[in-house]
Amino acid sequence: MTYLDQRYLSESAWKPNLFQGKVVFVTGGAGSICRVQTEAMVLLGANAAIVGRNQQKTDDAAKDIQSLRKDAKVVSLPNVDVRDVKQLASAVAKTVQELGRIDFVIAGAAGNFLADFNHLSSNAFKSVIDIDLLGSFNTVKACFGELRKNKGAIIFVSATLHYYGVPFQIHVGAAKAGVDALSNALAVELGPLGIRSNCIAPGPIDDTEGMSRLARGGKERIIQKVPLQRMGTKQDIADATVYLFSPASSYVTGDVLVVDGGSWQVSQSAASHDYPVTLKKYFDAPKGGKL
């Protein structure tokens, strides 16, 4: 079952067939946020290829997304580890073989879990860095030939965790800071080739795995700290995606589009309430100091 449906075409600000003839390549495309990004692109005329680790989940997502538009083509690319650039290169080759081209890339594959520094092992830290940061680099590396040929655009799914100190998210914050730096450098290096590179940094987005882990104080407590006084939706991220891939943003590159209702401006974190007491408990807990 998809998150978006045909109402998106009549109720959103975007015109139908905006991306007709275009192809989007999405890592993490079977996940919560990236899946809805893909749904919006397909509803607006694009074909898509979604990369995932789990065969059944990726196949099911591709089938559901393809059903959104009568003539849509959505290629499932399961069993692909973004940490392996050769696997991604094979996925790109299959995409081009079946869909003919790649115009847009969404690098959204990510790993996350809650862990305080005292109980976060070096291997666990490295795993998140490898998936989020190295995986993002590998994705663009594998797609570069197509992006250059078609003067394409890249969106990295980042976060606001590194804008201030967020406990239990050291690994993810470090990785996403690297993703922002990667995007900025690519915007400068690839700009002369006509390739644009930007980030979307979601804030508290409802009905996502990340939010379910971070919202330990409950949604109402989070909403109280959001200037716009509501949780974000996956459609909010999808609309930001459409904007950054559309001609409306043709002079926008090297930017980070924060979609968080103003949350980071007030330096509030879903994970940070009562953190001094909570952190002391974790540091006093046994089996800490993992290497």
What positions carry a catalytic annotation? 158, 176
**Structure letter (DSSP) for residue 14:** S
Count of CB atoms situated within 10 Å of the CB of 262: 14
Residue with tokens 């959505």: 74
Q: Could you identify the residue written with the tokens 């939706």?
A: 233
Locate 191 and state its tokens: 């700009």
Separation CA 229–CA 266 (nearest Å): 13
d(CA 210, CA 200): 15
- Give a three-class secondary structure readout of 67-121: CCCCCCCEEEECCCCCCCHHHHHHHHHHHHHHHCCCCEEEECCCCCCCCCHHHCC
Rounded-to-integer distance, Cα 287 and Cα 278, Å: 16
Residue 232 DSSP code: B
What is the C-alpha to C-alpha distance for residues 261 and 229, in angstroms, rounded to an integer?
8
**Phi, psi angles (nearest 5°) of residue 145:** -60, -45
Distance from C-alpha of 228 to C-alpha of 226, rounded to nearest angstrom? 5
